Amino acid sequence: GEDVEQSLFLSVREGDSSVINCTYTDSSSTYLYWYKQEPGAGLQLLTYIFSNMDMKQDQRLTVLLNKKDKHLSLRIADTQTGDSAIYFCAERSSGTYKYIFGTGTRLKVLA
């Protein structure tokens, strides 16, 4: 079945770039998402990419997609303490509304 995997923790220094990685298994046309969850809050959709794209950039965020390896990454440039949160990746097959989420990566930004 479909599966989405992420590493559990990442720690970076303020001002550095963060790269959060995710692997997925669905081989059909797919939407891939990145969400941010701050403590005690719901999820916030950060960005998403369709599987026919290789890259998407939105201000400090860059999403890279390696379709061959089914690998998705989220790069946060100039990471700030306010970026400390849990980041989830998720996939959704085109034509369905079934979302499969990863377990989340906890990003800690050190001042």
Partner 1 sequence: EAQVTQNPRYLITVTGKKLTVTCSQNMNHEYMSWYRQDPGLGLRQIYYSMNVEVTDKGDVPEGYKVSRKEKRNFPLILESPSPNQTSLYFCASSLSYGGQETQYFGPGTRLLVL
Residues that bind partner 1 (CB under 8 A): 4, 31, 40-45, 48, 88, 90, 97-104
* Smallest distance from partner 1 to CB 52, Å: 11
Taking the least distance from each CB to partner 1, the nearer of 1 and 111 is 1
Query: DSSP label at 25?
Result: -
* Smallest distance from partner 1 to CB 68, Å: 24
Taking the least distance from each CB to partner 1, the nearer of 17 and 57 is 57
| Helix, strand, coil fractions of the chain, as percent rounded to 5 | 5, 60, 40
Cβ–Cβ under 8 Å, residues 24 and 2: yes
* Smallest distance from partner 1 to CB 37, Å: 9
* Token pair listed for 99: 């979302």
Taking the least distance from each CB to partner 1, the nearer of 1 and 82 is 1
Cβ–Cβ under 8 Å, residues 87 and 93: no
